Every structure is written in structure tokens, then in C-alpha cells.
Amino acid sequence: MELVAVADLLLARREAALRAHPLAVVRGGPDAIIDDATVDLVVIATPPATHHDLAARALRAGKHVLVEKPLVTDPKHGYELARLASESKRHLFVDHTFLFTGAVRKILAYADELGELLYYDAIRTNLGTFQSDTDVLWDLAPHDLSILLSLVRRPPASVSAVGARHGPGDRESMAYLTVRFAGGPLAHIHVNWLSPAKVRRTIVGGARRMLIYDDIEASEKLKVYESPSTSEMDPADDVLRRLVDYRVGDVIAPRLDQTEALRFEIVHIARVLLDGELPISDVALGLRVVEVIDAAHRSIALEGTPVPLEA
């Protein structure tokens, strides 16, 4: 791939782009990219409220599009983009960056070995970067939801959520989401802009294996545990025996590919476009993430009442 052009409304950002890419065309508005016949793929890394308009213009101009998460913040806009991509036979990728990290790629590779998924528990807190044009759900929850939905590979049945607005602006700065799937697993996601510490920890419980993914760990981000074999436990055994059984089982910290996520993602996208590789993060996944977050907002307005999701 070759970088052809960069557009940003801000002069300082354009100057930085030119310093990093002296051979690229650098412009203020997106038209220089969208109207350029030599451009195959347009990458949209602007605030979420602008994604729909920019992605629609690029798709109408016959470009493939990679848009930052969240795809959009209104499901109706997402359905329209999905239709445009389908009609123009162009790919619409969503940058759910974590799916391209070595750790999450390993988790997804383990999916079948985990056995029946029982639960998914994630906490993601940032060190207080309040953003005026979005809230903590649109900012942080796409990361966890994209991992969860890629792992479960079935549409969720409902979401219930509670949230609070503590910071500047009238938007959620923390939220707890409970996502239910018909027949399991039960998923819980905590996102928070108000934490004194950055935490990015996920525990996945499967009937055969469980894993802990701690993205803050410099090494050994992922640990895989053999699950206690509850089916083999004799209920007549005493409690001590059962506790010992619970601890039996190997723990491994698999070796993880260190390739930078965005580098891996761009190579993957080139393979999708040139070799027909299946997209890891397509518009269907981006849309599902948007639907869950939209339903979570409706649940927050209903003080946590579960909101059903269409299959």
C-alpha cells in the first residue's frame, strides 16, 4: 500500500502529516482524497459524529473504507452505510484495533478450546480523558464489545446498563453493561473515565479453559487456565477435597505475536482486497457493536431495564 493523501481541518495536524509523509498530498478537506481516482481505500479517523457523512461520500465515490470505531453513533446511519457498501460492492472495515493485537488474536484462536463459554468479564478504565463530543460508552465499550462479539459469534439477546455522569459535560463518564446471549454466556463490561488507574482486564470463563487477559502487563498479557472439571466432582466429597480439585490444572502464558496492531490490520486489509481473505472487522461487526451501545443508552434511560436486541 502507498499513502497518497492526507486531509485534516487543522493546520497543525496537516503540518505534522507533511513532516511524517513528505511525498503525500496534504489538504484541508476530504474532497482531495474522495475525488482522487488513484485512491482505493479511504481511512476515516475523525470524531464519531463525522463518520457517517465521510464514509457515505467515500463509498459513493467507489472507495473501500476503513473507519475508526465506533462505526457511527446512530444505528440508522450504520444500516445506510451497510447498504451503500453492499450496493457499491466495496468493503467497509471498522478499526476495532484490539482485534488485531497479538493477545486478542490468540484469545480468538483459543475460542474452540475454551469449551462452552460461561462468562465474560471486562473492565476498562482510562485516566480521565473527558471528551466533549462523545461519552464513555462510545469511546471505550467498542473495544470490549468487538472482542466479546468476535468470541461468541452469535448475536446478543439483550443488554442492560446503568451509568453516571460525573465529569464536565452532560454525558456518561462511567457505565456498567450486562450483555446476555440466548443460552449463555453472561457478559459484563465496566467502562470508566474517572479511574485513578488505567485498568484493562478481561476474564473469560469457559467450561474447559478460562483465561485472564491483562493488557497493561508488559509481558504475559494472557494466561490460560484449565477449568475445574465440575462434572467430575462428586457432590458427596468434602469441601476441602473440592477446593483442592479446583486448584488442579495447568496455567500457561502463550507466546504472543508482537506485531503492532495497526500494521497487522493494514496488511490484513490488503489481503482482503487483493487475495479475498475474510475481513476480521467488517461492517456487520461494527453495526452490531453500535446496536449494543445504542440499546445500552436506552437501558440507562430506563434505569437498567434490559433492552432486547434483534437477532
Ligand X SMILES: NC(=O)c1ccc[n+]([C@@H]2O[C@H](COP(=O)([O-])OP(=O)(O)OC[C@H]3O[C@@H](n4cnc5c(N)ncnc54)[C@H](O)[C@@H]3O)[C@@H](O)[C@H]2O)c1
Nearer to ligand X, 72 or 307 (CB): 72
DSSP assignment letter at 216: T
Nearer to ligand X, 97 or 125 (CB): 97
Please list, in sequence order, all residues whose beta carbon lies within 8 angstroms of the beta carbon of residue 29, skipping any fewer than 6 positions away.
7, 9
Q: State the nearest-atom distance from the C-beta of 46 to ligand X, in Å.
A: 4
Nearer to ligand X, 160 or 173 (CB): 173
Q: State the nearest-atom distance from the C-beta of 68 to ligand X, in Å.
A: 4
| DSSP per position, 99-159 | GGSHHHHHHHHTGGGG-SEEEEEEEEEEE----TTS-HHHHHHHHHHHHHHHHH-S--SEE
Extract the runs of DSSP E, i.e. beta strands, from 165-294.
174-180, 186-192, 194-206, 209-214, 222-226, 251-252
Q: State the nearest-atom distance from the C-beta of 34 to ligand X, in Å.
A: 10
Nearer to ligand X, 69 or 200 (CB): 69
**Among candidate residues 32, 29, 81, the one with its CA nearest the CA of residue 56:** 81
CB-nearest residue to ligand X: 68
Report the C-alpha gap between 7 and 14 in whole angstroms.
Answer: 7
β-pairing, 186-192 with 117-127? parallel
Q: State the nearest-atom distance from the C-beta of 139 to ligand X, in Å.
A: 6
Q: State the nearest-atom distance from the C-beta of 234 to ligand X, in Å.
A: 48
CA distances from 153 to 142, 147, 276 (A): 16, 10, 21
Nearer to ligand X, 8 or 294 (CB): 8
Residue 290 grid cell: 453500535
**Interface residues with ligand X (CB under 6 A)?**
7-10, 13, 29-30, 45-48, 50, 68-69, 95, 97
Report the C-alpha gap between 200 and 214 in whole angstroms.
Answer: 6
Q: State the nearest-atom distance from the C-beta of 105 to ligand X, in Å.
A: 16
Nearer to ligand X, 160 or 281 (CB): 281
Give, rounded to a whole angstrom, the gap between the first and last alpha carbons of the chain.
37
Q: State the nearest-atom distance from the C-beta of 71 to ligand X, in Å.
A: 9
